[in-house]
Amino acid sequence: MSATELAAAVAPARPERVRRFEARRLRAPLSVLLLLGLWAGTAWLLAAPRLFPGPASVLEAVVRELVAGELLFHLGWTLLRVAAAFALAMLVGAAIGIAMGRVAVLDDLGRPWLLFFLNLPALVTIVLCYVWIGLVEAAAVIAVAINKIPNVAVTVREGARALDKSLFEMARVFAVPRLAVLEHVVLPQLAPYFLAAARSGLALVWKIVLVVELLGRPNGVGFQIHSAFQLFDVATVLAYALAFMGVVQLVEWLGFQPLQRRLERWRR
Amino acid sequence: MAALSVNVVRKRFPALGAAPEKLVLENVRFAASEGETVAVLGPSGCGKTTLLNLVAGLDPEFEGRIERPPGRLAFVFQEPRLLPWRTVEDNLRFVLAGEADAKARIDAALAEVELPDAGPVYASRLSLGMARRVALARALVVRPSLLLLDEPFVSLDQPTAWRLRLLLLDLLARHAVTTLLVTHEPREAVMLADRILLLTAAPGRPRAELRVPLSPEERRDLARIEAVARRLLPDRPEPLAVEAA
Ligand SMILES: Nc1ncnc2c1ncn2[C@@H]1O[C@H](COP(=O)(O)OP(=O)(O)OP(=O)(O)O)[C@@H](O)[C@H]1O
Ligand SMILES: [Mg+2]
């Protein structure tokens, strides 16, 4: 690329395009406001504050739980479980995916297992883990991880299949050590697949963690939602759900998006 | 004493699906002494890349025998084969595997290919001509005992290609490395090689072997003349290729 091409590539877009872009940016917040408005309107029409609370009552419940120290305590427990199950699922799933993507025998042998676990309902895994391992933390984390591992494996397997053979040949000719090949040839090619698996993984894992907590844990967002449900306290149910959704969105904004930008910096 | 000795009795690709078994190389036999540059010249599809893959040890499936000199091997592939997600400097470091003076050697190699400032640039951002020079630097930075070049200047515009051939000529003179150059461009072979092995069209069989009686200065002149001619004259069709026997 010549110097002028380089300059053109990094120059800002033309002004009119910038302005149109700014207008588009307003659409997402507008859509959130619209949703809030619809919610508030429906709540006002139904006039059943216990069964269908409006945004204000839910916010009130959030503040109440926050001040009481309950919200952060349960949020913390759920986050810990999500983090543990997520890490376990990513590690094991990636290992299985790479192995199946690279070794034909393992792919053929593993496919029926993968199919089995992909179709196994989350609830069944959870119940069986609690029965076999006991009502302990490890059972909860493993149950969630088992639900996610097949998805990670399938995604990473795609990446492992698509690895560029010509770069492996290059590394072989230059007698590059295996570890360096892993770091500079394999992982950069798998990164987009890891990221895709991680994103869809987080979304799935936290939802299953709530079920696990509901069925057999004495704390966490799932436990709190269960307690509130027994009291028909819909505002508290929504308060915990929204608080955790907020945290997950924060992970997306502060974790995944910067990570993706970093990983894709090399692309033109 | 031959540094490199090649004797490919037969190289076949097995039948695959509807494609029948294919004989690609037969009785290709030559040797190169230390520091010598041998060019293998043949039309497209005659098995030149295949031959280099055999010499590099990337493909062990053939009848015959190949002896390589001890020491490191370097390969400039037909496409640059850089790691696009790494910088130019890291691409060179990748093949140096933690050698002590890596940084100094990388800087020297980049200066040699006239890209002293390209170190921090991602390989994905390079033009083809730059990428080819980086691939050349990556090959030289390992101080190879055997250098394999697979049409290193194909699909560049002609003035650039000739400028780079001139650069390669100087590099080969300076590094005195045994070199096997594969090309379908006769002038490139004449300019760079001490000896030329002509191959027939597919399957590649030896057609002739000739010595190039040119002094280093004459080779340089040849490259300069070509570079100027290609810059001044409008584009011509493809240069004369070696015809089938
Ligand atoms: N893995 C393979 N399996 C089957 N046939 C192959 C394989 N690789 C190459 N061939 C065939 O072998 C022949 C020689 O290929 P090769 O790439 O060595 O030619 P080449 O002389 O390098 O051509 P070019 O100048 O276009 O690069 C071609 O007909 C090609 O189709
Ligand atoms: Mg070729």
How many Cα atoms are found within 13 Å in the side-chain-facing hemisphere of A137?
9
| Partner residue opposite B124 with nearest CB, options A172, A175, A268 | A268
**Cβ contacts of residue B106 below 8 Å, gap of 6+?**
B89, B92, B93, B96, B119, B141
Instruction: Point out the ligand nearest to the CA of residue B183.
Output: 1
* pLDDT bracket for residue B89 (50, 70, 90): very high
- The first and second tokens of residue A266, run together, are 């090399």
Has residue A29 been placed in a domain?
Answer: yes
Q: Which residues of A fall within a CB distance of 8 Å from B56?
A: 173
Best probe residue, ligand 1, of B24, B54, B205 (max atoms within 8 Å of C-beta): B24
Domain that holds residue A7: 3-37
Bridge partners, B181 (sequence order): B39, B149
Q: Which of A169, A174, A267 sits opposite B124 (nearest CB)?
A: A267
Indicate yes or no: CB of B127 within 8 angstroms of CB of A176: no
B44 lines ligand 1 (CB under 6 A): yes
In chain B, where does DSSP find H-type helix?
A: 48-56, 88-94, 102-112, 128-141, 158-175, 186-192, 216-232
Q: Is residue A47 part of a domain?
A: no
- pTM, two decimal places: 0.81
Decide whether any atom of ligand 1 lies within 6 Å of the B49 Cβ.
yes
- The whole-angstrom separation of Cα A233 and Cα B187 is 86
B241, B43 in Cβ contact below 8 A? yes
Among A186, A181, A156, CA closest to A94? A156
Q: Which residue, judged by its Cα, is nearest atom 29 of ligand 1?
A: B45
CA A165 to chain centre: 31
B45 lines ligand 1 (CB under 6 A): yes
Q: In sequence order, what are the beta bridge partners of B209?
A: B197
State phi, psi for A90 to the nearest 5 degrees. -65, -45
C-alpha B120/C-alpha A36 separation (Å) is: 48
Q: Whose CA is nearest to atom 5 of ligand 1?
A: B13
Confidence check: pLDDT of B39 > 80 = yes
> How many C-beta neighbours within 10 Å does residue A216 have?
19
Hey, is A143 helix, strand or coil? Answer: helix
Tokens of A71: 């919200």
For ligand 1, atom 3: residue with the closest CA: B13
- Report the C-alpha gap between B208 and B218 in whole angstroms: 23
Cis peptide before A150 (omega within 30 of 0): no
Are A223 and A252 in the same domain? yes
- Going by alpha carbons, the residue nearest to atom 23 of ligand 1 is B45
Give residue-wise pLDDT tens across range A63-107: 999 999 899 999 999 999 999 999 999 999 999 999 999 899 999
**In degrees rounded to 5, what are phi and psi of residue B5?**
-130, 130
Higher pLDDT, B109 or A18: B109
Q: Which residue of B has its CA nearest to A171?
A: B95
CA distance A157 to A23: 40
pLDDT tens, residue by residue, B183-211: 988 888 999 999 999 888 878 788 878 99
Locate the domains of chain B by residue range: 2-71+145-232, 83-142
DSSP reduced 3-state for B32 = strand
Ligand 1 binding pocket includes B124 (Cβ within 6 Å): no
In a domain, A138, yes or no: yes
Query: Could you tell me if residue A43 is inside a domain?
Result: no
Q: Verify that A20 and A64 share a domain, yes or no.
A: no
pLDDT below 70 — which residues of chain A?
Answer: 1-21
- Domain B2-71+145-232 belongs in CATH node 3.65.10.10: no
CATH number reported for the structural domain that contains residue A196 in this entry? 1.10.3720.10
